[in-house]
Structure 1
């Protein structure tokens, strides 16, 4: 049997076996079929009992198993997910794609990060109090079946982020190898290593994230020190426009808000006695400090590309990875080693993201809940690697096309969750009854949540500003789509949910 390590509690072999029976009963699978599944999984259960593999999946975590006291892990996991090349890549868009100066980029990054990071930091505090994963919490507003719509969108979003991370990591490895290793091979290496961490689950993930950010900080500091003398060579820019500022702000929001759809996945085993406001501060700090600093660094790098010929050539060959390899080139062989370390810093983000994807698969189709969580780690890796190889061919276009949409739906989604918790459940955690989580007859219909989210796009679409479409509102204001999605969805959900509650009694 497993025992808690460093305050992190994992399910025992006995509870894992019992969970199969619970899941079978709640998802419509016969006990006979569940028995066959148990027999087929006997070897894996023995491995679980002797090792760190998490079996539980999306089942609610009972109070007695919420025993971890390592509350700082809520800081370290966010810090590790953001101390890498991903925020640098997003920051580069401000100067390279929207033509903003470094000063303007830094101000936009600071304001929008402070504004949007509060959302995932807050929703993560519900994990210890409810014992529910984030998208399971969504069932208490979207219902058992209609929650599949945001789950599908979340799966697409998280998979998209995994693709971006694999591409950047693969490009770094290729740039260091000087062409002897293709980006495709680098992508495969990053994807396989991420699989190993996400496969094991909660305990291994938290242990890895607790320390992995340290070499990442050192590597980023070294690369910045080697190439920092060129960062002042910023290309001339035009005065900032409202459209450019708000459109880049949408990029920042699209980076930060989607974290809210997985925040509680990392906190469900924490002891609920810890004050929520302190846990919020841990999460907020873990999101803000690395993201603001590294996005600003990315904006500085993006603004200097056209002024530094070596960087421009490297960018054409290996995009972000090429630039970083060029920045580290004054350090010779040691610089190449540092860039390899930078490539592997991406594992902290992609492993945590893939972990949440495995949980989302179980929520998407209730019958799939009997399939162990770790199986989906293999499935998502098999999807991410080939898609990443394809996306690498035109990376920044793929990146912009992807992030141009995720901020809108995720803003509407978190608006529903926050309104439901604060207004209709009055912040009372006991209203998330564990015996309701998989029972459609006890959960809300979800019509109010889905209807409010969908109808908000009547104003979101005219407020969008994309390469392929600019709405009439956005023509005058710039992209304010995610702001509209958040506010309008909340305004619509209030009357819709009141009507649904009166009709259904739930």
Structure 2
């Protein structure tokens, strides 16, 4: 919905941008997932072999903020959906609390139960989406008229797509590590790529269609102004009566799997933040993050789409720089050899790189990234002409800088 309502893009333009940039931005997620089974390391553990034992805390903190933000987004959508079907009797705040706590309980069950839950939870979610589309589908052709977009608008919206997809690369190995080392890399890549790409593109396009129709459908517009995404879903399903309300509840609860899986990765990242945190039981981190998500989500719900644009637009920058470092470390310096990651070194700071090359390359790239940012709260001098090209520059510039800086680091430390 952000394309039409936030950027003034028509359905055709949104669909083409979503398709092209999703094809491109899902690649690093699939690629890094293939390293999990072969290295036996979670994503941020593997990152220690480029960012070092201590400086890896920087991408860990950024990843924690990113994952927490995704939990906030899903909690807001779920909470607003529950509120919409009660016509305000259940406030969005209470709905957010319900969704966040239920997701935490699912997270408590551990990876095996979570994995089984995810295997089947998508089925009722898909059915509910089909029902919602079928019920309100007759209005989707009633699209609002938008002007022909400028290149800068297209690139700015593409940065939003990248900001949603690329950060998944920072946790791809967290789940792939459970696969056997002999697992086919081609299959791991294909399953990961397809698992992210196939649901993302149709749902984003559907969201764009709904957003484009909203201004022309009074009940949808009223729902959007009342409780944002949840209000629109409730308005779409209103003709179905009580069954429609049940479908909205089903859609709200379908977010539990996303939030719980994200919380699972958050608990793993917490243990890497500081060495002593590895001794803290992970369920305590789940409680802490839930306590953070609830108040932040309640505050974010007051201006959801503005906060959504601000958050997703920014996270693509650091994630692109991170991907550039990790990919070049593996493909160039480790010769794409997963056995080059010595398991005896992962928790020994004196045997790992200092991380100065990785962090230095990432930070220096922002000399070009910042002027190329186009956000609600800031537009750089380059972005005023080109649109947001920050994530592209973060990847390219970080990669170019990392190679010479890493060679210098190896020469000084006399080890890879």
CA distance in 1, matches of 2:114, 2:48: 25
Number of positions where the alignment pairs a residue of Structure 1 with one of Structure 2: 415
Alignment of 1:47-446 (within 5 A): 92-446=1-355
CA distance in 1, matches of 2:374, 2:307: 17
Contact 2:82 2:90 in 1 (8 A): yes
Quote the residue 1:47 is aligned against: none
Contact 1:201 1:374 in 2 (8 A): no
Contact 1:465 1:479 in 2 (8 A): yes
The alignment's TM-score, normalised by the length of structure 2, stands at: 0.99
Once the two structures are superposed, what CA deviation does each residue of 1:156-187 show, in whole Å capped at 9, x if it has no partner? Answer: 11101100100000000000112111111111
Once the two structures are superposed, what CA deviation does each residue of 1:392-451 show, in whole Å capped at 9, x if it has no partner? Answer: 111112111212210101100111000000000011111111111110000000000000
SS at the partner of 2:112?
helix
Unaligned runs of 5+ in 2: none
Higher relative contact order (CA 8 A, sep 6+): 2
CA distance in 2, matches of 1:394, 1:240: 25
Identify the match of residue 385 of structure 2 among 461, 464, 476.
476
SS at the partner of 1:434?
coil
CA distance in 2, matches of 1:411, 1:189: 34
CA distance in 2, matches of 1:109, 1:394: 24
Q: CA deviation at 1:463?
A: 1.1
Q: CA deviation at 1:200?
A: 2.2
SS at the partner of 1:266?
helix
CA distance in 2, matches of 1:388, 1:465: 24
Once the two structures are superposed, what CA deviation does each residue of 1:471-506 show, in whole Å capped at 9, x if it has no partner? Answer: 222122111100000000000000000000111122
Contact 2:309 2:376 in 1 (8 A): no
SS at the partner of 1:138?
helix
Once the two structures are superposed, what CA deviation does each residue of 1:174-230 show, in whole Å capped at 9, x if it has no partner? Answer: 001121111111111111111112122211111111110000000000001000111
Larger helix proportion of the pair? 2
Quote the residue 2:394 is aligned against: 485
Contact 1:172 1:318 in 2 (8 A): yes
Identify which range, 266-275 or 138-147, moves more after superposition.
Answer: 266-275
Q: CA deviation at 1:468?
A: 2.2
Identify the match of residue 460 of structure 1 among 355, 366, 369.
369
Q: CA deviation at 1:466?
A: 1.6
Unaligned runs of 5+ in 1: 1-91
**Structure number, greater radius of gyration:** 1
Q: CA deviation at 1:251?
A: 0.4
SS at the partner of 1:387?
helix
Q: CA deviation at 1:275?
A: 1.3
